[in-house]
Amino acid sequence: SAVISQKPSRDICQRGTSLTIQCQVDSQVTMMFWYRQQPGQSLTLIATANQGSEATYESGFVIDKFPISRPNLTFSTLTVSNMSPEDSSIYLCSVDSGDGNQPQHFGDGTRLSIL
Amino acid sequence: AQSVTQLDSHVSVSEGTPVLLRCNYSSSYSPSLFWYVQHPNKGLQLLLKYTSAATLVKGINGFEAEFKKSETSFHLTKPSAHMSDAAEYFCVVTRPDSSYKLIFGSGTRLLVRP
């Protein structure tokens, strides 16, 4: 299975600032996904990032708040913009298995706290 | 609408006793189903998956799950709990609009008592 590295693993940020989270995969993958896990909650899909096209956002998430880049088949970034305490969450990236038959593999996540 | 329900938010068992984590799904079609585990300060690890092959699915670390279409259930079991099994468990289904998109259950926290 793919090995996924996320950076940073955790951060504490001031409100109003922005943070970019990186997701690096050790193999080429078609689809990458970004999830949010709010404290004590389950995971919610933010967007799907495909190389060569704009990210597709789920209901409730917008590009201005969560801009995503996907410059190649092994890398993606998620920026959390103009952060507020409500953005304190774990942000996880995942990738498709590559054989068209799930499952997804997940990184260890970025634990973000906003003061 | 497709959804997945984990019936217990917390389950507590003694080490060496069986584990049962319950999951029901609702769907107008047959989704793929998964169980993932999340240990503290870790990402998600796949335990097992069901993709319309055998209804009894064996996963890692001694876990298995049985797909019962008539009951729309996909319960996770393990014969004997180990201390290292203490974690959060998520039942997950694919969405009808995209097999690449997932819906997560609310999670079940498993506590293993010594």
pLDDT band at B1 (very low <50, low <70, confident <90, very high): low
Cβ atoms B36, B93 nearer than 8 A: no
Strand spans (E) along chain A: 4-7, 10-13, 19-25, 31-37, 43-50, 56-57, 68-72, 75-80, 89-95, 105-106, 110-114
Q: How many C-beta atoms surround the C-beta of residue B67 within 10 A?
A: 20
DSSP H stretches of helix in A1-115: none
Tokens of B11: 């389950």
Question: Cβ of A106 and B105 within 8 Å?
Answer: no
What are the tens digits of pLDDT across the range A100-114? Answer: 556 788 999 999 999
Residues of B in contact with A45 (CB under 8 A): 101-102
CB contact under 8 A, A106 and B36: yes
Q: List the structure tokens of A24.
A: 């690096």
Sign of CA dihedral B58, B62, B63, B66: positive
* Residue B41 with chain A: CB contacts under 8 Å: 108, 111
Distance from CA of A73 to the nearest CA of B (A): 17
A102/B34 touch (CB, cutoff 8 Å), yes or no: yes
pLDDT in tens, A11-24: 999 999 999 999 99
Q: Which residues of A touch B31 (CB under 8 A)?
A: none
pLDDT at A97: 67
Q: Name the phi and psi angles at A102, rounded to 5.
A: -5, 165
Instruction: Identify any residues that bridge with A95 across adjacent strands, giving them in sequence order.
Output: A32, A105
